């Protein structure tokens, strides 16, 4: 259907010069050199690592683009139901190594026994390119290191979106991601004198070879203005004219998303804001040239920067502008594509599923209703049926402070027509509720999209998202249950519980196993006799590892891989620590690497972790001072390094103080001669995806210790287990299902349960029972300036939050259990290494459930009703 209008002659020429993928090292080298010379205008004599990275990326991208085009053509021809994943964040990290692993060349298709000399061990295009680069005089590892992270996200939510696009391509789903192309991603974190300092992340500094600008597509987006309903005052339900007051253009940048072992290459479309070319003629003619240009330039600020908050809402006008800009541009694109198919509007939900990642894209629901009613002139109710059958909503938090609410005044000024539509949606919704539950005024005010109780009337975005969707899901079982019994309880009553469902999060094993941990991946593929890495598509194959769990030879290999990865992390830390080793090389093997890396937040309880470290330190000192020998101390407290990493939101005072405390404790402990190498503390600055790829494989133990009921799922817990690390954790988020899958013998769980949290908080509010002795010891030392000799009160806010302000995160309730569980960890790790290795192997063997491929299948089957489009 696409080709019929093209004359035979043109088609012939086109076919004769059909672009070809490189398939061999030789072809790659040719492509590489042509990019160095033509694309970069450089040469053999000035091709440094950065240029080599860019030329390699351009070459690999050429291959991807060929498959990208074919994928789009195939999808257009077959016209399947399409999936759109709307997320304000895509925390992609680096693209090149991932593309090398996922990319398909003929090299990969050939048999293992092929004699082609470029096909050395591994038989993959990654190996082939590595060797080809060597011949050209470059080391692949160095080249990969030149790439800046695409850090367009804050944490778990953004990284989840990145894993999902990988799995959607791998599963051959006709699915696009839609997001924003921020010019500045999440800030880079520096640690100066122990404090976090933020610096801008200008990731596009050296141009981005992974994006394709579509400058010819420019979607006009309006803001402000007023609604015109003509002379005779029509109803707001009828088509209305929104006369926008400010206009900017949305220009898409496309990123190819290659699937693994498939030629499907999907698209991630990120929008960038540009000024219109219309000039403000009035100002211009008044001689105010500079101001009129400045106003035009203001447009670009919409996509300038990612808001750096994690689980906290900052109600800024620019943020709402970002949201509408992106929703409107994406929907325009989606609707345009739908209209090309000339199908009836009523078929829209059969053709399209839109998943909204948290409430940030909720305006897309309103925008589609506006398009259908105002522009396409559909009847209100007909339109609303289409809208609600199209959208589905994923919730990622139950914490009040993260639930989005926008003041009516702001929303009405920025988007006057949308506010009217929201009122009408709410009006019909409340009528339905009234019919079902007559005279329940309390219920009506509780579920109203408009919150009236606060000083300022606000729009509750989560409620709007629920009303506008056909399915609502949480991200782990416990969390999905919690939203039904707490924040969305009334909606379960109204809609029934079938509208609410669970899809437990997952991670892509391509990046988080194969790419991050090549040694483990190799050991696995050898052991289960899967040289082509098919287990990365069917992770249930990992269960074959179980039979080696107690095999001593295998345990040794397993341990060697861990040792290698710990060394790799120690090298990174040395580099970050001005060339100074934290742990002596010889001691790495018998030092337990205890890691907590994630956004810094009180609910995640890094403070409890560092209190635990202080407790250990003080107790070790006591032992030594009471005359114990080092050997005796080591028996009770074996060698350990506590590693932290993560960013605090720039305005989050307590989180920043936690970072400072960690660094202050590190200062004291690491310089305490008496303690020697028995305990070390290190805060890794600027934790990001590419650092996570080094950190995750190196853990013996990782900490996932949120107050029960606060961490919706967590995804790093899965990453650590997939890399053979054990977990110390609370009964929270996906820890629950991880335990079910890998077995409770293989995880160190502790602490109060979610069901007891309310009661405990209540108790703290009304009876101050004080803190347990173990914690008191820690807090006293802090208060006495043990870690802040210049300023004894520096950490008082952390102490007060527990002792005087109700201990909202229940540190005092969980501390003793935490300490004793850590002691149990010590015992197993140091006294029974075989037992430890067995747990590690069994964990990996049973972690398959947490592949994001499984998530995507669940979304496709139970929410989107979408099918893969397989390449022939
Ligand atoms: C995270 N949320 C959850 N939000 O905290 C985590 O438990 C879960 O595993 C993950 O989502 C994926 O489901 C999260 O990362 C944010 O970063 C938002 C950014 C925008 C402002 C509000 C918080």
The answer to whether residues 425 and 448 touch, using CB atoms and an 8 Å cutoff, is no
Distance 309 CA to ligand 1 centre (A): 10
Question: Does 621 fall in a domain?
Answer: yes
Q: How far, CA to CA in Å, does 851 sit from each of 357, 428, 839?
A: 19, 41, 20
Question: Does 301 fall in a domain?
Answer: yes
Domain tally, the chain = 3
Question: Does 614 fall in a domain?
Answer: yes
Is pLDDT of 214 > 70? Answer: yes
Which pLDDT does position 112 carry in this prediction? Answer: 39
Considering the domain architecture, whether residues 191 and 299 belong to the same structural domain is answered as yes
Identify which has the larger pLDDT, 293 or 567: 567
Which residue ranges have their beta carbon within 6 Å of ligand 1?
154-157, 160, 309-311, 396-397, 402, 475, 505, 711-715, 733
Question: Does 732 fall in a domain?
Answer: yes
For residues 380-387, average pLDDT: 98
Q: Where does the pLDDT of residue 105 fall: very low under 50, low under 70, confident under 90, or very high at 90 and above?
A: low
Is pLDDT of 119 > 50? Answer: no
Question: Does 151 fall in a domain?
Answer: no
Catalytic residue among 598, 680, 764, 839: 598
121-127 own/partner pairs: CB under 8 Å, 24+ apart: 123/531, 125/100, 126/97, 126/100, 126/101
Most confident of the ranges 59-73, 116-130, 765-779: 59-73
For residues 678-703, average pLDDT: 98
Distance 358 CA to ligand 1 centre (A): 8
The answer to whether residues 638 and 620 touch, using CB atoms and an 8 Å cutoff, is no
Kindly list the strands in the beta sheet with 679-684, ordered across the sheet, starting from the edge strand earlier in the chain. Answer: 679-684, 640-645, 592-597, 701-704, 726-730, 748-750
CA 159 to ligand 1: nearest atom = 12
Distance 332 CA to ligand 1 centre (A): 27
The answer to whether residues 81 and 44 touch, using CB atoms and an 8 Å cutoff, is no
Q: How far, CA to CA in Å, does 664 sit from each of 464, 605, 682, 790, 796?
A: 45, 17, 10, 11, 14
Give the 3-state secondary structure of 146-192: CCCCEEECCCHHHHHHHHHHHHHHHCCCCEEEEEECCCECCCEEEEE
Distance 692 CA to ligand 1 centre (A): 17
The model's pLDDT over 820-860, given as tens digits with 9 standing for 90+, comes to: 999 999 999 988 999 999 999 999 999 999 999 999 999 99
Considering the domain architecture, whether residues 70 and 213 belong to the same structural domain is answered as no
Distance 229 CA to ligand 1 centre (A): 41
For ligand 1, atom 22, name the residue with the nearest CA: 311
Distance of alpha carbon 378 from its chain centroid, rounded? Answer: 37
Considering the domain architecture, whether residues 637 and 500 belong to the same structural domain is answered as no
Is pLDDT of 106 > 70? Answer: no
CA 154 to ligand 1: nearest atom = 17
Rg for the chain (alpha carbons), in Å? 28
Distance 712 CA to ligand 1 centre (A): 8
- Structural tokens at position 778: 């820690």
The model's pLDDT over 32-49, given as tens digits with 9 standing for 90+, comes to: 999 999 999 999 999 999
Q: Shortest CA distance to 117 belongs to which of 131, 105, 103, 106?
A: 131
Considering the domain architecture, whether residues 496 and 544 belong to the same structural domain is answered as no
- Structural tokens at position 180: 């924003």
The answer to whether residues 322 and 180 touch, using CB atoms and an 8 Å cutoff, is yes
Lowest mean pLDDT among 1-5, 389-393, 463-467: 1-5
Interhelix angle 606-625/773-783, nearest 10 degrees: 90
Output the CA angle 400-401-405, nearest 5 degrees. 90
CA 158 to ligand 1: nearest atom = 15
Considering the domain architecture, whether residues 403 and 525 belong to the same structural domain is answered as no
CA 311 to ligand 1: nearest atom = 23
Which pLDDT does position 312 carry in this prediction? Answer: 66
Residue with tokens 């337990």: 592
Question: Does 441 fall in a domain?
Answer: yes
What gap in Å lies between CA 305 and CA 753, rounded to an integer?
38
Q: How far, CA to CA in Å, does 352 sit from each of 84, 347, 388, 735?
A: 8, 9, 12, 34
Distance 817 CA to ligand 1 centre (A): 27
What gap in Å lies between CA 38 and CA 28, rounded to an integer?
15
For residues 461-489, average pLDDT: 98
Pocket test for ligand 1, best of 87, 157, 179, 316 (most atoms within 8 A of CB): 157
| Three-state SS at 126 | helix
Which pLDDT does position 108 carry in this prediction? Answer: 58
- Parallel, antiparallel or unpaired: strands 90-93 and 150-152: antiparallel
Q: Where are the alpha helices (DSSP H) in 377-488?
A: 380-390, 408-414, 416-436, 441-447, 461-467, 477-485
Q: Where does the pLDDT of residue 233 fall: very low under 50, low under 70, confident under 90, or very high at 90 and above?
A: confident
The answer to whether residues 753 and 708 touch, using CB atoms and an 8 Å cutoff, is yes
Catalytic residue among 82, 269, 370, 396: 396
Give the 3-state secondary structure of 33-62: HHHHHHHCCCCHHHCCHHHHHHHHHHHHHH
The answer to whether residues 267 and 333 touch, using CB atoms and an 8 Å cutoff, is no
Residue 715 is a catalytic residue: yes
Considering the domain architecture, whether residues 235 and 311 belong to the same structural domain is answered as yes
Interhelix angle 552-576/833-845, nearest 10 degrees: 90
CA atoms within 13 A on the CB side of 799: 16
Distance 495 CA to ligand 1 centre (A): 26
Identify which has the larger pLDDT, 747 or 103: 747
For ligand 1, atom 12, name the residue with the nearest CA: 157
| 24 C-beta neighbours (distance < 10 Å), count | 18
Residues in the chain: 872
CA 155 to ligand 1: nearest atom = 15
Considering the domain architecture, whether residues 467 and 547 belong to the same structural domain is answered as no
The answer to whether residues 208 and 94 touch, using CB atoms and an 8 Å cutoff, is no
Considering the domain architecture, whether residues 257 and 238 belong to the same structural domain is answered as yes
Listed in order, strand segments (DSSP E) in 670-813 are 679-684, 701-704, 726-730, 748-750
The answer to whether residues 864 and 356 touch, using CB atoms and an 8 Å cutoff, is no
Which pLDDT does position 115 carry in this prediction? Answer: 41
| Three-state SS at 197 | strand
Q: How far, CA to CA in Å, does 309 sit from each of 600, 651, 789?
A: 11, 8, 32
What gap in Å lies between CA 472 and CA 771, rounded to an integer?
40
The answer to whether residues 226 and 271 touch, using CB atoms and an 8 Å cutoff, is no
| Three-state SS at 802 | helix
For residues 617-632, average pLDDT: 96
- CATH number, residue 607: 3.40.50.2000
What gap in Å lies between CA 866 and CA 345, rounded to an integer?
18
For ligand 1, atom 9, name the residue with the nearest CA: 714
What gap in Å lies between CA 550 and CA 837, rounded to an integer?
8
Identify which has the larger pLDDT, 298 or 643: 643
**CB neighbours of 271 closer than 8 A, spacing ≥ 6?**
178, 179, 180, 181, 219, 250, 251, 252, 253, 303, 325, 326, 329, 330
For residues 309-324, average pLDDT: 85
Q: Residue 470 burial (CB < 10 Å; 0-12/13-18/19+)? A: middle
CA atoms within 13 A on the CB side of 529: 1
CA 733 to ligand 1: nearest atom = 7
Which pLDDT does position 284 carry in this prediction? Answer: 67
Pocket test for ligand 1, best of 91, 155, 179, 320 (most atoms within 8 A of CB): 155
What gap in Å lies between CA 221 and CA 241, rounded to an integer?
15
Kindly list the strands in the beta sheet with 458-460, ordered across the sheet, starting from the edge strand earlier in the chain. Answer: 405-407, 458-460, 450-451
What gap in Å lies between CA 835 and CA 726, rounded to an integer?
12
Report the share of the chain in percent with pLDDT over 70. Answer: 96
| Three-state SS at 786 | coil
For ligand 1, atom 17, name the residue with the nearest CA: 310
Helix then strand then coil, in percent of the chain rounded to 5, is 55, 15, 35
Considering the domain architecture, whether residues 435 and 536 belong to the same structural domain is answered as no
Question: Does 7 fall in a domain?
Answer: no
Catalytic residue among 94, 269, 417, 604: 604
For ligand 1, atom 6, name the residue with the nearest CA: 714
Q: Tell which of 146, 180, 204 closes a domain.
A: 146
Is pLDDT of 118 > 70? Answer: no
Q: Shortest CA distance to 299 belongs to which of 275, 326, 267?
A: 275
For ligand 1, atom 14, name the residue with the nearest CA: 157
The model's pLDDT over 42-76, given as tens digits with 9 standing for 90+, comes to: 999 999 999 999 999 999 999 999 999 999 999 99
For 259, the domain range is 156-505+857-864
Distance 151 CA to ligand 1 centre (A): 15
Considering the domain architecture, whether residues 277 and 298 belong to the same structural domain is answered as yes
Considering the domain architecture, whether residues 120 and 240 belong to the same structural domain is answered as no
Is pLDDT of 111 > 50? Answer: no
Q: Where are the alpha helices (DSSP H) in 261-362?
A: 281-285, 289-298, 317-340, 348-351
Catalytic residue among 170, 715, 730, 821: 715
The model's pLDDT over 320-369, given as tens digits with 9 standing for 90+, comes to: 999 999 999 999 999 999 999 999 999 999 999 999 999 999 999 999 99
What gap in Å lies between CA 511 and CA 319, rounded to an integer?
31
Considering the domain architecture, whether residues 22 and 47 belong to the same structural domain is answered as yes
Distance 198 CA to ligand 1 centre (A): 21
Pocket test for ligand 1, best of 85, 151, 310, 461 (most atoms within 8 A of CB): 310
Distance 789 CA to ligand 1 centre (A): 37
In the chain, the N- to C-terminal Cα span, in Å, equals 18
Lowest mean pLDDT among 291-300, 308-317, 648-657: 308-317
Catalytic residue among 719, 803, 838, 854: 719
Pocket test for ligand 1, best of 162, 396, 476, 718 (most atoms within 8 A of CB): 396
Average predicted confidence (pLDDT) for the chain: 95
The model's pLDDT over 490-511, given as tens digits with 9 standing for 90+, comes to: 999 999 999 999 999 999 999 9
- Structural tokens at position 546: 């179980």
Catalytic residue among 159, 499, 599, 605: 599
What gap in Å lies between CA 251 and CA 232, rounded to an integer?
38
Residue 719 is a catalytic residue: yes
Question: Does 8 fall in a domain?
Answer: no
Q: Where does the pLDDT of residue 2 fall: very low under 50, low under 70, confident under 90, or very high at 90 and above?
A: low
For ligand 1, atom 16, name the residue with the nearest CA: 310
What gap in Å lies between CA 732 and CA 273, rounded to an integer?
40
């Amino acid at each position: 259907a696409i080709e019929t209008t093209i004359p035979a002659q043109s088609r012939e020429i086109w076919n004769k010069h059909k672009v070809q993928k490189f398939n061999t090292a030789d072809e790659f080298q040719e492509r590489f050199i042509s990019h160095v010379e033509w694309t970069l205008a450089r040469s053999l004599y000035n091709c440094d690592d950065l240029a080599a990275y860019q030329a390699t990326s351009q070459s690999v991208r050429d291959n991807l683009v060929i498959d990208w085009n074919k994928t789009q053509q195939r999808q257009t021809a077959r016209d399947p139901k399409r999936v759109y994943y709307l997320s304000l964040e895509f925390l992609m990290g680096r693209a090149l190594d991932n593309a090398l692993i996922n990319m398909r060349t003929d090299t990969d298709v050939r048999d293992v026994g092929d004699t082609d000399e470029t096909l050395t061990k591994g038989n993959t295009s990654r190996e082939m390119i590595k060797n080809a680069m060597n011949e050209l005089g470059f080391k692949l590892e160095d080249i990969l290191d030149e790439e800046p992270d695409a850090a367009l996200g804050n944490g778990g939510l953004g990284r989840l979106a990145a894993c999902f696009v990988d799995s959607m391509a791998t599963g051959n789903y006709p699915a696009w991601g839609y997001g924003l192309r921020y010019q500045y991603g999440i800030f880079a974190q520096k640690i100066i004198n122990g404090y976090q300092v933020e610096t801008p992340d200008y990731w596009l500094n050296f141009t981005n070879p992974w994006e394709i600008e579509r400058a010819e597509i420019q979607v006009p987006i309006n803001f402000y203005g007023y609604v015109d309903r003509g002379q005779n005052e029509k109803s707001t339900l009828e088509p209305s004219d929104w006369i926008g007051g400010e206009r900017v253009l949305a220009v898409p940048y496309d990123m190819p998303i290659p699937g693994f072992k498939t030629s499907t290459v999907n698209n991630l479309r990120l929008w960038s804001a540009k000024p219109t070319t219309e000039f403000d003629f009035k100002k211009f003619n008044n001689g105010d040239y500079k101001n009129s240009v400045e106003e035009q330039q203001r447009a670009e600020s919409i996509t300038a920067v990612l808001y750096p908050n994690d689980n906290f809402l900052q109600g800024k006008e620019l943020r709402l502008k970002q949201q509408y800009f992106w929703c409107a541009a994406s929907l325009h694109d989606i609707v345009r594509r739908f209209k090309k198919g000339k199908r009836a509007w009523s078929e829209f939900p059969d053709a399209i599923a839109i998943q909204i990642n948290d409430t940030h894209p909720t305006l897309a629901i309103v925008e589609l209703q506006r398009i259908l009613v105002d522009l396409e002139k559909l009847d209100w109710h007909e339109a609303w049926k289409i809208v609600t059958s199209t959208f589905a909503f994923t919730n990622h938090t139950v914490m009040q402070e993260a639930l989005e609410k926008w003041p009516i005044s702001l929303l009405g000024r920025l988007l006057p027509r949308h506010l009217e539509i929201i009122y009408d949606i709410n009006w019909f919704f409340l009528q339905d509720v009234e019919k079902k539950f007559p005279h329940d005024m309390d219920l009506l005010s509780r579920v109203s999209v408009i919150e009236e109780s606060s000083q300022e009337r606000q729009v509750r975005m989560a409620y709007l998202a629920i009303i506008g969707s056909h399915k609502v899901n949480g991200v782990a079982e416990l969390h999905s249950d919690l939203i039904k019994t707490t924040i969305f309880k009334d909606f379960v009553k109204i809609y029934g519980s079938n509208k609410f469902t669970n899809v437990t999060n997952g991670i892509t094993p391509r990046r988080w196993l194969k790419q991050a941990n090549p040694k483990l991946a190799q050991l696995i593929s050898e052991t289960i006799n899967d040289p082509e890495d098919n287990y990365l598509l069917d992770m249930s194959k990992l269960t074959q590892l179980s039979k080696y769990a107690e095999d001593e030879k295998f345990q040794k290999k397993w341990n060697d891989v861990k040792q290698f990865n710990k060394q790799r992390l120690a090298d990174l830390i040395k580099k970050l620590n001005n060339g100074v080793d934290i742990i002596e090389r010889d001691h790495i093997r018998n030092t337990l690497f205890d890691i907590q890396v994630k956004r810094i937040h009180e609910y995640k309880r890094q403070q409890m972790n560092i209190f635990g470290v202080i407790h250990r330190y003080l107790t070790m000192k006591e032992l030594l001072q009471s005359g114990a020998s080092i050997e005796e101390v080591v028996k009770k407290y074996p060698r350990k390094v506590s590693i932290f990493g993560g960013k605090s939101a720039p305005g989050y005072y307590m989180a920043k103080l936690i970072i400072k405390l960690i660094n202050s404790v590190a200062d004291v402990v690491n310089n305490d001669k008496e303690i020697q190498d028995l305990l070390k503390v290190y805060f890794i600055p600027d934790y990001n995806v590419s650092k996570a790829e080094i950190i995750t494989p190196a853990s013996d133990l990782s900490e996932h210790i949120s107050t029960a009921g606060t961490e919706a799922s967590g995804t790093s817990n899965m990453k650590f287990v997939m890399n053979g690390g054990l977990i110390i954790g609370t009964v929270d988020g996906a820890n629950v299902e991880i335990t079910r899958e890998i077995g409770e013998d293989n995880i160190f769980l502790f602490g109060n349960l979610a069901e007891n949290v309310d009661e405990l908080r209540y108790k703290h509010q009304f009876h101050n029972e004080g803190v347990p002795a173990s914690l008191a010891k820690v807090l006293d030392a802090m208060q006495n300036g043990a870690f802040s000799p210049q300023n004894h009160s520096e950490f008082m806010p952390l102490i007060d939050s527990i002792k005087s302000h109700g201990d909202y995160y229940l540190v005092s309730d969980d501390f003793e259990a935490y300490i004793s569980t850590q002691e149990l960890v010590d015992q197993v790790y140091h006294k029974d290494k075989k037992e430890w290795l067995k747990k590690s192997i069994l964990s990996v063997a049973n972690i398959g459930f947490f592949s994001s491929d499984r998530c995507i299948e669940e979304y496709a089957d139970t929410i989107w009703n979408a099918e893969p489009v397989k390449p022939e």
